[in-house]
Amino acid sequence: MNSNMSNEKVLNCKPAGYEDDYDDEFKFNSSGSSQESGRIRIVKGLGHQARLNKEDFDITLPPDVQNWLTAFSKTFNTFKKGAVVSQGIRMFFGTRPDLFEIVLKLYANLPGSTNPKSGTFAFTLIKELDAYLKCYDPNVIASMKKFISDDTKMVAFNFFHNQNQLFNVVCECYDLKSSREIFIGRIRELISEQKYKDACQSACDLELYEGFSIHDFLIPLILQDKMSVAEKYLGMAYKLQCELVTFLDSWLDHSQPFANFYDNYLGKRDINGVNYSKLHRKTLKKLVKRYAEMYKISKDLTPFLQEMDAYGMLQLLLNKKYVENSLKDWDEYIKETVPTHSNRLIEELINACCDYNDIPEAAKWVAYFNVDTSCNNYPIRLEEYLKKKSNTKLNEAKDNAKSDYDVVEVPPEVMQYSIDPEKICVINTMDNFYKMIGDLLNFNTLGFDCEWKFRESDIDLIQLSSKSRVYLIDVKVLKSILSDEDWRKLGRKIFRNEEILKLGFSQASDIAMIKKTLPGLCITYEKSTSYMDLQKLWRYLQEIPGFKLPFTDNSLGRAKQDLRQLTHLCLGQPLDKNQQFSNWAKRPLTAEQILYAASDAYCLLEIFDVLKTEAARLKVDLSDYELCKKLK
């Protein structure tokens, strides 16, 4: 009888009741052919050109190993896993002086070895090898691995480089990293076959962080929108981080259409699977920004990213000034935002001022940036305005960074909410810091707010208010004075004190900013019920029939429901928000900023009194635990 047929018949025997998804597991043989729907499909075996010199690896099993496999297959089919299977495989391992080579031959003869699934014999064999080696003294195993030839290691690489679940295990078992350089050529072959993911994953697992450029597989993977694989490699390929970020930043240059960059790049390289739907400038900007922050790349090396950020900031500033009329320190922000070397941003600023019909403001920036308006990039009316002005006037405009639009006039008949300045205390020394903590412990309810510079990511000021005093904690100054332990005491005594209710308005963003700027406070906001968001409380009470506040505001419903409106509805006077976008990073703070910051926190206490009274009238229990969780 044909031996293959005999083996197949034996391997397919199963006790009754054990037929399952693995019934067909042992219907394959080592010849490289497989039976599929009655047809014979010839495939190249795993051993094909698998050796170091590109020769075939002989996967023929010695007779004694074949006999063991034939006999043990019955056991595996019966039990699949567990002590019986583990013990049987490990006993076999203990009899083999050629363990590492014979495991590869066994693996190649098992069905499904090209893509083994968890629970199959092929998968189990490798996992058991790993477990077997870990049972011995590491020094003994290290001595054994010294005798693994580079040829055997190359076979192991070729068998498993595309097996994500097993390759790391094989790297460890066969000590592939000690001979990592021999795989560079093979990885380059994967690159030439456009198997960028396999190439990158293999290089990463083998810790081959040198010998490849960003164009080998990192850029192709980014173009294929497979960033996670690329980032795993890039995280350790320190020499490539800056090169990749600066290269991607060059594609953010607005001097030519974005499509030109990747068209030129792809025209020189054959890259398949490019995800064109994700190839646009905004998406790339987010990626460059994230990488620059992640790898701490200097801003000087990402000029086009900085220009895009500045452009976005400029649009926000223009909207705040001309649409919302809510921006202070306009000139200072513009000088910080628009670089003197960025012709694109300067042109955008001047043209935008003209679009808002503010020709004098446009002329001011023409003088400040020393712009040559003889080109055709500016409106004729600006040219006409400039002709009417003498050189003396232009020089005065350059020095005087003021404009009619800088001041938002408050109608005299509208009184703004404010606080008695005598109640305000700026905390910028250690002594005052600790006196403040002691005083705040005398109160069970505090108003809480934060301020930071527009579009910045660090807190500059924290406001904590009791009914008797408002404390403005100057974080920008105190960060260089206080230790982590000092901040921890403030966190423990106040922010994590469950006996003190902290009132805020849309406070989640404030908490997030504080956690980032002052991690030493150790705020446990998610688990606490000692915070209440008055915006959420307001919206909750609004849903209850009969809800009514003492005052009315005709603008309600036509604008967003913000703290200014709630102050008006509860206290009869709107909150002055003109300092909201002022420069909170600049020292010393102005009197207007100090008054604004204190009012922002103190008004929360008076608003809470009104909302609490209305809640009681509506029979809403603000001490209810579940409600408190919703309102923080």
Question: What is the per-residue pLDDT across 91-101, written as a single tens digit (0 to 9) for each?
Answer: 999 899 999 99
Residues 352 and 428 both lie in one domain: no
Residues 498 and 385 both lie in one domain: no
CA atoms within 13 A on the CB side of 471: 21
Q: Specify the DSSP element, H or E, that contains 472.
A: strand 470-474
How many CB atoms neighbour CB 433 within 10 A?
Answer: 20
Q: Is 40 helix (H, G, I), strand (E, B) or coil?
A: strand
The owner of tokens 């590109």 is 54
200 pLDDT more than 50: yes
> Is there a domain that residue 286 lies in?
no
Are 611 and 537 in contact by the 8 Å Cβ rule? The answer is yes
Residues 389 and 426 both lie in one domain: no
403 pLDDT more than 90: no
* pLDDT the model gives residue 607: 95
79 pLDDT more than 70: yes
Are 534 and 503 in contact by the 8 Å Cβ rule? The answer is yes
Residues 481 and 382 both lie in one domain: no
- Domain count across the chain: 3
* pLDDT the model gives residue 396: 55
How far is the C-alpha of 320 from the C-alpha of 455, rounded, in Å?
Answer: 13
Residues 235 and 363 both lie in one domain: no
Strand ranges in 506-621 using DSSP code E only, listed in sequence order: 531-533
Residues 573 and 529 both lie in one domain: yes
Q: Which of 148, 149, 174 is nearest to 161 (CA)?
A: 174
* pLDDT band per the 50, 70, 90 thresholds, residue 232: very high
Question: What is the per-residue pLDDT across 377-392, written as a single tens digit (0 to 9) for each?
Answer: 788 888 888 888 755 4
Which residues partner with 426 through β-bridges?
A: 472
Are 570 and 613 in contact by the 8 Å Cβ rule? The answer is no
Q: Quick one: what percent of the chain has pLDDT higher than 90?
A: 57
> Is there a domain that residue 498 lies in?
yes
Residues 429 and 389 both lie in one domain: no
Residues 434 and 576 both lie in one domain: yes
Q: SS in 3 state form for 372-385? A: CCCCCCCCHHHHHH
> Is there a domain that residue 45 lies in?
no
How far is the C-alpha of 584 from the C-alpha of 455, rounded, in Å?
Answer: 11
* pLDDT band per the 50, 70, 90 thresholds, residue 555: low
> Is there a domain that residue 362 lies in?
yes
List, in order, residues 6 or more apart from 129 with CB less than 8 Å away: 93, 99, 103, 169, 173
227 pLDDT more than 60: yes
Question: Domain span at residue 368?
Answer: 305-393
How far is the C-alpha of 416 from the C-alpha of 457, rounded, in Å?
Answer: 29
Residues 445 and 370 both lie in one domain: no
> Is there a domain that residue 152 lies in?
yes
List, in order, residues 6 or more apart from 626 with CB less than 8 Å away: none
> Is there a domain that residue 280 lies in?
no
Q: Which of 447, 445, 449 is nearest to 460 (CA)?
A: 449
Residues 266 and 326 both lie in one domain: no
> Is there a domain that residue 282 lies in?
no
**Of 557 and 105, the one with more pLDDT:** 105
Are 78 and 14 in contact by the 8 Å Cβ rule? The answer is yes
**Of 582 and 19, the one with more pLDDT:** 582
Q: Which of 192, 247, 203 is nearest to 229 (CA)?
A: 203
Are 577 and 326 in contact by the 8 Å Cβ rule? The answer is yes
Q: Quick one: what percent of the chain has pLDDT higher than 70?
A: 87
Q: Which two tokens stand for residue 321?
A: 């000034």
